[in-house]
Structures are given as C-alpha cells and as structure tokens.
Structure 1
Amino acid sequence: MNKTIKLTPAQLLIIVFIFFIFIGTILLLLPFSTNKPITFIDAFFTTVSAMTVTGLGVVDTGTYFTYVGQFIIALLIQLGGLGIMTFSVFIFIVLGKKIGFKHRLIMQHALNQVNIGGVIKLVKNLFFFSITIEFIAMIFLALRLVPEFGWKKGLFSSFFHSISAFNNAGFALWPDNLIQFVGDPIINIVISSLFIIGGIGFTVLIDLKEKNSFSKLSLHSKMMIVGTLVINIVSILLIFALEFRNPQTLGGLTMVEKLWASYFQGVSPRTAGFNTIDIGLMNDPTIFYITILMFIGAGSASTGGGIKLTTFMVILLSTFFYLKGRDDIQIYRRNIPSGYIARVTAIAMTSVLVVVLAVLLINIIEPIPFLPLLFEVVSAFGTVGLSMGITASLTVLGKLIIIIVMFIGKIGPLTLMFMLARPQKSNFKYPDEEILTG
C-alpha cells in the first residue's frame, strides 16, 4: 500500500533549498564556470555561502570564476536572498495560476510572517521592489565603475555587487573586498544603502510604503527602525574610537577616510560581509564587538541572518521590565505577549548552542586561535561573511562544519528544531513548583 509522504512547510523549504545547493555546486564545477581548477568541497562551500547569502569564501570569487561562474553565484545569491518560493509564487502569478492555501502557508513560513493573510501581496511587492532597487543601484555603481574598469567589467561588477549588497551576501569581485574604495563616497553610500534596506526587513519596507507617519507603523516596524538607528550610531562611534590610532586600520587614513571607514564598518557587521578596512588587523576589542553585532543580526523577513534585532531588543526589554518588578513588556503603548519571551529565549539559546558546539568542534580539529575562530563561526551563523582570513585555511572537516553553521543560520535554528522534533502540545499539566535561580 502506497503511503503519501506529508511534509511540513519547513521540511519542504529545506528540501528545495538543498536541491538548489546541489544544482549550484554542479554548475560551479563545470569548465565554463572556472578559470582555475576547483575542488568539490570548495564549489560546495561557495554555493552554500551564496545560497545562504553569507559571503564567506574559500577561493577568490573574481579570480577563480569566469563571468559565467560569477553570474551563477549572483543568481544563487538572489535565490537565497529573496527566497526560492518567492520566485516560484511570482511565476505562478505571471502565468495566471491560482495560489492555493498550501503555497500560501509555505510563503508565510518562508517570509517569517505571523499571519497568512496578505502573503501574496507581500511577495508581489517584495519582488518588484527588490528588482527596482537593485537596478537603480546598478546604474549608480556603473557611473563610478565603468570609467575605471571599462564597459564589460564595470557593468558586470555593478550588476554583481548590487545583487550581493541588497541581499546582504558580502561577495565581492576584488581580493581585498572593498578596501580600495575606503574613501569613495559613491561606493560607500550605494553599497551601505543596499544592505541596510535589505537588512531592515521587507515587512518594515512595505509598512513604510503604506503608512504616512511613524505613529501608524506596526510595533515591529517601530522597533526595527529605532533599533537600527541606535545600534548603527553606537557602532559607528565605537569603531571610530577603538580603531582611531590603529596604524593598520584607521590610523593610516585621512580624517575623511576614517569617517567613511567607521561609518561603513559600523553599519555592515549585523547584515553584510563587506569591508573597507582589513578585519584581521583590527584590535581585539573591536573584533569582539563586531562578533556581538553579527550574532544579533538583521531584521526578521530580511535578507540578513543572526538571532534578529527584534529578538535582541525583546530580551533587553524583558530584562529591564523584570528588574522593575513587572512580568509584562510595554512599549509604544503596546503589550508584548508573554509567549514571545519564551520564543526569543529559545531562539537565543539554540543559537548560542549552535555557535558553542561549532567552535568546540573546529577548535579540536583546527590549529586556529580562539578569537578568529569564534569570529568565523559567528559570521557563518549570522550569514554575515566577514572573516579574519582563516576561511581558506580550514580543512575539509572544518569547512563542512562552517557549511552546516551557514545552513542553520539561514533557515533559523528554531525551524530546524521544529522540523526534527515535531513539537506537540500536551493535553494535561503538572502542578507548579518553584526552583531556586540566580
């Protein structure tokens, strides 16, 4: 007797995601994709890094891959950033096909939405908005890059980096990432604008489009906007202060370049893996602070990773209100349900466990100092892509662990746990009893 295999939305999304990773790996191994021989593990690593919009690289993208290979990487980044199901639903819409409840449920899960209503409208807006923003950014980048690199390389670089930046991937076609553009206003403004817009979350962008005042925005949008502004300003000032006298980073730059570099590296770590100064030469306090930023990550329903900014903010708010002797969280005249406290705690703890386990395993098998290793793992988990230069030196086993961390960081640790554990609600409750804590 045939049994129908029933998959949850999370399981289906993961299967489709793995399928495209397999296809991408095969394509990158073909002769027309590479200028130099590349191993299977390096092609696999590059594909996962692109699909998870991380940006960590074991080979130099601009050197090892041809224009065809780079185009494939850009396509994988777009698929990973906007979501495979977003493209699928958009094709259904173009063909005039009816979007069933199951597809809507999958899209709700893929876009991390609370309600299923309005999901298809969100997909339409998301697709058109993303393509439009990337096209406009490509034009501005071309105005800067074409005069320097010529029409072919300049246009393609503009195309590639607009996709990479908007989707918070951090892939660049230059060996030094964007260090050569440290004081360039156009590159700094366009690239940072792309990954800030992509990292704030699509629901916030749609909310801003439909509402004409801050007071009318949803609580999520208000928290994301205020949180993004505060954490970016603090990060810019802190990096400027910590690295000001470091001769290997800001110390050797002019004051204008120092300001641009501080701005760019202050807004980049939570979402994108671009850098305009050498990350590996930063002071330890700066590295540790950036590690925290990468762990916090971007916004929900965005192209970025991490535990998400709103998760971090709810943890801070719950601590603040608990110390004031209150069990509820009230902000902007709204009350955050107590169930969300348990959710954000679960997200934070599973994320910490993933990072700790990965660091422990790699530390056992790789002769790498602890801080660069921690930085690399958190960068992979937050799908950021910043590195202190140790990625290419990892063994095959080390690369596989980073691949798994990137994958978990992209789909979310809770999604993976729900898929494996199949949680069920209990029909009964045991008596309460307090335990000693603190």
Structure 2
Amino acid sequence: MRNHEKVKDMKRILKKLTPPQILTIGFIVIILLGSFLLMLPFMHQNHQSIHFSDAIFTAVSATTITGLTTLPTATTWTIPGQLVLMLMIEIGALGFMTFAVLIFTITGHHLDLKSRILAQQSLNLKNLSDINSILSYVLRLSAVIQLLGILFLSFDFVPRYGWKQGLYFSLAHSVSSFANAGFVFFKTPFSQFADDPYVLIVTMILILAGSLGFLVWRDLLLKGQKTRMTLHTRLTLTVSGWLIALGFVGFFTSDFMRGTFANGHSLFNQIIDTLFLTITPRTAGFEIVPTTSLSTAGIMALIALMFIGGTPGSTSGGIKTTTAGILIAQVWASLRGQDSVRFGDRQFSKKTVNKALMLVVISFIFVFLVSFILSITETLPKGSGLEYYVFEVVAAFSTAGLSLGLTPHLTMAGKIIIMIVMFIGRVGLYTVMFSVLNVRIQDTHYEYPEEEVLIG
C-alpha cells in the first residue's frame, strides 16, 4: 500500500511540474546516474582512485556535450567507462525526450499531451502536429550520419590502429564529432591529425552535420518535394556560411600568416588546419593546435565563434546562429531607417526580435558575472590576462569545450561554477529561467504613455 501511495504522490508531483522544469530535472537525473556509474571501480584504469567531483564534472561535460575534462579521458576511464561517456553524449546531443519517445514506440505506448509538449520544447519545434514523425526522423538521421562517420573514419583508423582499435576509435570519434562533444578518446592529443587532411575533413563534415540542426537537414532533404526552404533554414545557412568565411579570413590573417599552422606541414594541410580551426569552435572543441599558441586576435575570434555557436534544435550551444542573424538584420534595418526587420522576402515579428535581443543581453551579463566570480575563486597564471577566465566561461556556456588550460587546475568552487555554466549552456537560459527561476511571461492589456530618452 505504501509503495502504491508513493507512486501516486510521484504522479501528482510530476503533473504539477512545467515542461521546462521536467526537462531540467531530466538532465540532472541523467548526470547523477552517469556520475554514480563512473564511480564504479571497474570504470577506472589501473585501479585509480577517482574523486566524486571529477566523476560528476565528467558526467556534466558529457551530458551537456561540452568536452571540458579535469582528467584525461583515454588514460582515466576503461572501455566500459568510455562507453558510458558515449551514451551520455548521445543522450545529451539528441535529448533524453528523444530516447523516451523511442522507448514508448518500442513498447507500443502513445505519448500523452504533456510528453508531446516536452518533446516539442526539447527540439525547439513550433507545433505538436508532427512530433512522432520528427522524432523518428531525428533518430534515423543521426544514426545514418554517425554510421557513415564510422565507415569513413575506419578507412584511416583501421590501417593506423588495427581492426579492433580502429573500429572502436571510429565509433567513439564519430559520436563525439557529430554530437559536437569534443571528447578525445586517443591517448595522444587530437593535434596528431594536423597533417591528416582526410580525418580533419570527415570530422568537419560530422561537426557541421550536428551543428546545423535536424530541422535544417529535414528541410534540405525534402527540398525537392517543397517549393522553397523555410525562413529558419535560409537564415541558418546564410549566417553559418558567413561565420565560416569570416572566421577563415580572421584566422588566416591572425595566425596562418604568422606560421601558427606551419610546423613542417604543406600549404594545403595548413589551409585545412585553418578551416578546421574555423569550424571547431562552433561548440565542437577539438584542438588542432594548442589554444595557448594562438595569437591574441585568434583567441578573440575563438571567443566570438564559440559565443554564437550553432543552430537551435542542433547538438550545438551558444546563443545560436539565428539569434545572431536576427540581431544583425535588426541593426541593418535600423541603420537604413526601417521599422520592420526583414530577411529576403520575409519579416521577423517584434516578439522574435525582442526575444533574440533579450537572450544576447542576458548571455553577456551571465558570462561577465561568471567570469568575475571565477577571477575570485581561481588564480591567474603568470603572463595570462582576463581572457583566461572569459575564454573558459564562454567555452563552457557554448558547450564548445576548448580551454586555455584552466580546467585541469580548477578548485572545487571553480568546478562547481563551470558545471553550472555547462548545464545552463546545454539546457538553455530560457529553460532555466522558466523552471529554476520560475519566470513567467505575463501579457499586459494596457500601455503606458511613451517618452523619449537620449541615446548614445
């Protein structure tokens, strides 16, 4: 009887929770389960004693598909431990609701309204009409892309490492690249492939496939059946293209010209390395060259690219490409004296523009405050500037996972701070505001008189 009553009480509590609150709790549950699994003795190599703070930090980093680690992945975790990391990466990339729907489908159950709303919010969908078909499509597309990644990577890794290790590394690297997680399962740094353009090109394709978003891929694959692409897809592709082009030019002038990528490599390999450095900050986090070897301008470019990130509904973090695109369109419209914000033959609603502006402002404030707190809890290495803290915070917030070397030396307070930032970066500022902070959107049915103030 008592167990039956406990189940009833649990159902009542779940009914009172809002969808954002359930999404937040769901990620926390996955992180805690992963942490306890990583604490099991057979998960550690050479009977290492792992502190719980390192286990939970790794679990947060994997579930939020960030890639920041306090311990080296390849030499700390056994194969079972690394498989647990890969599972958390998959759940973090696709969203736990996607896997919940998969279980519902396998068992023959139907989603209720609340579950459909949860799935809608987890994938940033506009309506509930095609939840089942989209989630099924997400699972199939991600499986196909990752299987192709395993296949193409195996052409390089199998001859290099042998069949057993080669296939395993192909699996692990395909999952980590597509999810934009940035976890490296090799015992040597990822920079070992700086002179291997084939691996870098395959990795870049996997990163872009994950960062574009499932809805964009669906729109592209169905283009022949439709008269035109959606505004979301057109804006995403335009902003992404410009980011890659401008990023490449930026790194070409700031680091390529000063020989950062030389190291005995051919001109073609240096160009591929530069392109890889342009794409990987889009929340992927693979280091082709040590970030500490980059110029100050290069580090600034990395921060900017990480802050923007990928696309809504993708495996990426950051403020998202569409947010940046909307604000750029707003600035361009204002400079031309236009009241409406247009892109092509479509117009953004004022609500969308205001939401994008609010997200960017809150993100800037959040990054500044966390960087300020981190500067108090952590020690600034000799010769380093404020970018040492800002870079770490932006990398965690955007789930990019790059670092200037602070992560392995974080204090306990620093670990907690970065874990919170990674969590907020993956779950999303809006979800946190609507769940943890219990923020509510209130519609007012009255207006106040307008009055002008001086600007600038």
Calculate the TM-score normalised by the size of structure 1. Answer: 0.96
Residues of 2 paired with 1:137 and 1:154: CA distance? 13
Q: 1:408-435: per-residue Cα shift (whole Å, max 9, x none)?
A: 0001111111222331424442422224
Preserved CA contact (<8 Å) 1:243 1:251: no
Q: 1:22 corresponds to which residue?
A: 32
The Cα of 1:95 is off from its aligned counterpart by: 2.2
Query: How do 1:88-107 and structure 2 match up within 5 A?
Result: 88-107=100-119
Residues of 2 paired with 1:95 and 1:211: CA distance? 33
Closer, same or farther: CA 215–264 of 1 in aligned 2, 3 Å: farther
Q: 2:160 aligns with which of 133, 138, 148?
A: 148
Closer, same or farther: CA 248–225 of 1 in aligned 2, 3 Å: closer
Please identify, of 127-136 and 270-279, the stretch whose mean Cα deviation from structure 2 is larger.
Answer: 270-279
The Cα of 1:100 is off from its aligned counterpart by: 1.7
Matched residue type, 2:252: F
The Cα of 1:190 is off from its aligned counterpart by: 1.1
Partner-residue secondary structure (3-state), 1:88: helix
- Are 1:84 and 2:96 counterparts? yes
Matched residue type, 1:33: M
Q: 1:140-179: per-residue Cα shift (whole Å, max 9, x none)?
A: 1112111111222211111101000001001012355420
Q: 2:400 aligns with which of 384, 406, 410?
A: 384
Structure 2: where are the runs of 5+ without partners?
none
Q: 1:34 aligns with which of 40, 44, 66?
A: 44
Residues of 2 paired with 1:11 and 1:421: CA distance? 9
- Are 1:229 and 2:241 counterparts? yes
Aligned residues: 438
Q: 2:377 aligns with which of 357, 361, 365?
A: 365
Residues of 2 paired with 1:213 and 1:350: CA distance? 40
Q: 1:58 corresponds to which residue?
A: 70
Preserved CA contact (<8 Å) 1:145 1:158: yes
Q: 1:332-360: per-residue Cα shift (whole Å, max 9, x none)?
A: 21111111111001111111122111100
Q: 1:429 corresponds to which residue?
A: 446
Query: How do 1:95-244 and structure 2 match up within 5 A?
Result: 95-174=107-186, 177-212=189-224, 216-244=228-256
Q: 2:419 corresponds to which residue?
A: 403
Q: 1:185-217: per-residue Cα shift (whole Å, max 9, x none)?
A: 221111110110100011101111112289600
- Are 1:321 and 2:333 counterparts? yes
Residues of 2 paired with 1:381 and 1:425: CA distance? 28
The Cα of 1:60 is off from its aligned counterpart by: 0.6
Q: 2:277 corresponds to which residue?
A: 265
Calculate the TM-score normalised by the size of structure 2. Answer: 0.93
Residues of 2 paired with 1:226 and 1:183: CA distance? 30
Q: 1:350 aligns with which of 362, 374, 383?
A: 362
Matched residue type, 1:395: T
Preserved CA contact (<8 Å) 2:73 2:185: yes
Q: 1:393 aligns with which of 401, 409, 423?
A: 409
Residues of 2 paired with 1:196 and 1:115: CA distance? 26
Residues of 2 paired with 1:429 and 1:309: CA distance? 34
The Cα of 1:377 is off from its aligned counterpart by: 0.6
Residues of 2 paired with 1:111 and 1:382: CA distance? 17
Closer, same or farther: CA 318–124 of 1 in aligned 2, 3 Å: same
Preserved CA contact (<8 Å) 1:33 1:69: yes
Please identify, of 11-20 and 242-251, the stretch whose mean Cα deviation from structure 2 is larger.
Answer: 242-251
Preserved CA contact (<8 Å) 2:317 2:397: yes
Matched residue type, 1:172: V
The Cα of 1:270 is off from its aligned counterpart by: 1.5
Residues of 2 paired with 1:124 and 1:152: CA distance? 31
Preserved CA contact (<8 Å) 2:281 2:400: yes
